[in-house]
């Protein structure tokens, strides 16, 4: 495993905006790309950085050339959650070397350069399961809209450092309480019954000790949920479980394979970090090499 021996050291501070922590900006860490590459749907650009909720905590993250600041996060939050969430123990220079050694030379180098600074987050499992069930046959602005209304309707209140009230992602039992009809009212459409099935499976213990399962078993468990197929399962494993070998193939990646790899790419020979590479390729094709504005 390509990891650093420890997480970056942080110091805690306070200014007129409130309490924050700061640490030295790691290599290959760019919040604008990390939070706008389709792996999470709960953050938005805000006052020069990005802001949103993770693990029930509202944070405002800012970066300069050398420093990262996180408002709303104290040292305890950092060690308990955010350091891991932001995958700050990963050595992306080594990860990139591993990727380059497995992929045919050419487009992957361009893709990595365009996506330089992207990191794969380690997001809470339940929220990630729901988010990617909602993502199917859907576009990113609408996915965000649905998740926001889901939180506002059924999530617990969060008291934020800026004095405002926001809402956490609803728990499985909350979703079961609101039922399929309640979910349909939030424009989830045919995905409402999938979310209910996921909540029932969760309550039944299908995802207990999930982090101890190897890739094949974890995927098998995910595929028992209605509405989770191969692509969504791989997204969940990649964006929540640090299974960097998971390689979700969506319409954009199909396009990449057709355009740059002659229609075939052997998914079994892409190495331990194929999923990270997938994110670079997705980013390149979706945001860089596609002229259309996304708003």
Partner DNA sequence: GGACAGGAAGTCC
Partner DNA sequence: GGACTTCCTGTC
Q: Where along the sequence are the contacts to DNA (CB under 7 A)?
A: 37-39, 135-142, 184, 187, 189-190, 225-233, 235, 248, 250-253, 278-279, 282, 286, 292, 295
- Plot region of 68 (φ>0 → left; ψ -120 to 50 → alpha; else → beta): beta
Reference 228, options 124, 131, 120, 148; nearest CA is: 131
Q: Using an 8 Å Cβ cutoff, are 161 and 149 in contact?
A: no
Closer to DNA at the Cβ: 22 or 128? 128
Q: Using an 8 Å Cβ cutoff, are 111 and 235 in contact?
A: no
CA atoms within 13 A on the CB side of 122: 16
Closer to DNA at the Cβ: 168 or 250? 250
Closer to DNA at the Cβ: 18 or 148? 148
| DSSP secondary structure string for all residues of 145-194 | HHHHHHHHHHSPEEE-TTS-EEEPPPPHHHHHHHHHHHHHHTT-GGGHHH
Which residue among 231, 254, 259, 295 is the active-site one?
A: 231
Reference 60, options 35, 25, 28; nearest CA is: 35
In the complex, the smallest distance separating the C-beta of residue 291 from DNA, rounded to whole angstroms, is: 10
Q: How many CB atoms lie under 10 A from the CB of residue 29?
A: 22
Kindly give the interhelix angle for 251-260 and 274-283, rounded to the nearest 10 degrees: 90
In the complex, the smallest distance separating the C-beta of residue 278 from DNA, rounded to whole angstroms, is: 6
Annotation says 231 is catalytic: yes
Closer to DNA at the Cβ: 72 or 117? 117
In the complex, the smallest distance separating the C-beta of residue 91 from DNA, rounded to whole angstroms, is: 21
In the complex, the smallest distance separating the C-beta of residue 294 from DNA, rounded to whole angstroms, is: 8
Q: Retrieve residue 203's tokens.
A: 């309550």
Closer to DNA at the Cβ: 75 or 230? 230
In the complex, the smallest distance separating the C-beta of residue 140 from DNA, rounded to whole angstroms, is: 4
| Sign of CA pseudo-dihedral 233, 93, 123, 207 | positive
Report the catalytic residues. Answer: 231
């Amino acid at each position: 495993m390509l990891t650093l021996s420890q997480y970056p050291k942080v110091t805690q501070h306070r200014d007129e905006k409130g309490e924050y922590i700061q640490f030295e900006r790691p290599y290959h860490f760019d919040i604008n790309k990390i939070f706008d590459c389709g792996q999470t749907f709960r953050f938005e650009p805000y006052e020069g950085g990005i802001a949103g909720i993770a693990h029930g905590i509202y944070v405002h993250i800012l970066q300069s050339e050398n420093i990262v600041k996180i408002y709303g996060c104290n040292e305890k939050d950092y060690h308990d959650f955010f350091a891991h969430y932001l995958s700050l123990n990963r050595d992306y220079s080594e990860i990139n070397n591993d990727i380059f050694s497995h992929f045919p030379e050419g487009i992957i180098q361009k893709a990595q350069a365009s996506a330089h600074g992207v990191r794969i987050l380690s997001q809470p499992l339940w929220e990630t399961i729901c988010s990617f069930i909602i993502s199917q046959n859907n576009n990113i602005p609408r996915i965000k809209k649905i998740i926001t209304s889901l939180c506002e309707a059924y999530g617990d209140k969060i008291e934020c450092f800026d004095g405002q009230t926001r809402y956490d992602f609803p728990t499985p039992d909350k979703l079961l309480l609101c039922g399929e009809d309640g979910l349909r009212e939030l424009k989830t459409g045919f995905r409402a019954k999938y979310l209910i099935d996921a909540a029932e499976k969760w309550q039944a213990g299908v995802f207990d000790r999930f982090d101890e399962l190897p890739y094949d078993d974890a995927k098998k468990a995910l595929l028992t949920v209605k509405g989770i197929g191969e692509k969504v399962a791989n997204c969940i494993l990649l964006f929540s479980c640090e299974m960097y070998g998971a390689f979700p193939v969506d319409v954009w990646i199909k396009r990449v394979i057709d355009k740059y790899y002659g229609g075939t790419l052997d998914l079994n020979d892409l190495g331990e970090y194929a999923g990270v590479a997938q994110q670079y390729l997705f980013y390149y094709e979706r945001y860089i090499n596609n002229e259309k504005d996304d708003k």
